[in-house]
Amino acid sequence: MIQIMGIVNATPDSFSDGGEHDEPDAAIAHGRTLAACGATILDVGGESTRPGSVPVGIDEELRRALPVVEHLAADGSVVSIDTYRAATAARAIEAGARIVNDVSGGLADDDMMRVVADAGVEFLIGHWRGPSADMYAFAEYDDVGGEVACELSQRVDAAIAAGIDPSRIILDPGVGFAKAGPQNWSVLRELGAVTDLGFRVLVGTSRKGFLSSAVGDDASRDRRDLATAVTSVLAQRAGAWGVRVHDVTSTRDALAVTDAWDGA
């Protein structure tokens, strides 16, 4: 069964739902709602990584995210911490996080892989070429699918060298990160280049701007959620282990219909 990672943005400035759950109590309630809707993992973030976003200090990131991680983990949910800072990851693991989702794949903080290895938790390695503030400056590829897979393979080698158990590694092709619109579709079409590396693969397309080339720039959030649900089904077909989404219900339903179609 494909894993559905529900997004819990405890931030005021995330691109889609910034400010809706930016206080811990609201984020905790939202996480519980996502779990009730069928999310198998809750991904908690205290800093936006949207294009052009400005980093916040670690104290603010911890203030936003740590209580959310602690309460949702205490509920029994599998909690992921969305951070590229090793110190934040360490504190979140102490609070109950079982996955570290690092969009930089360990490139932003040299200490991240050691923290993950020492804790023995799962490590979600994102494809990354630079900070969110200027990520599109790095969106140049001759073979986007092949280059993403190659660069992820290099991060896998670094993770294993740092002592991370290969069975605990998950890969994310980084849809929307250092990739211009059409390049994201190419990454998805060529997802096999990443799944062929032999690790679990998570795909995150939720509400991202490149979907507008299919559904229109003026598409409502509901229509982007529908488009996201379709990509979730296609990602499953392409061998993805999990999908990361804002709206759990639409993706859950789309996957259930697919299973019914297949006779599962």
Catalytic position from the list 91, 208, 224, 252? 208
Pair 156, 201: CB distance under 8 Å = no
Answer yes or no: 244 catalytic: yes
Backbone angles phi, psi at 23, to 5 degrees: -105, 145
Q: Which residue has the tokens 């929307």?
A: 176
- Nearest by Cα to 127 from 107, 97, 112: 107
Give CA–CA dist 40/255, Å, rounded. 14
Pair 205, 228: CB distance under 8 Å = yes
Give CA–CA dist 185/238, Å, rounded. 13
Q: Which residue has the tokens 């062929």?
A: 196
Pair 231, 203: CB distance under 8 Å = yes
Structure tokens at 148: 């993403």
How many other C-beta atoms lie within 10 A of the C-beta of residue 129? 20
- Nearest by Cα to 203 from 217, 222, 188, 218: 188
Catalytic position from the list 85, 179, 244, 252? 244
Residues with active-site annotation: 208, 244
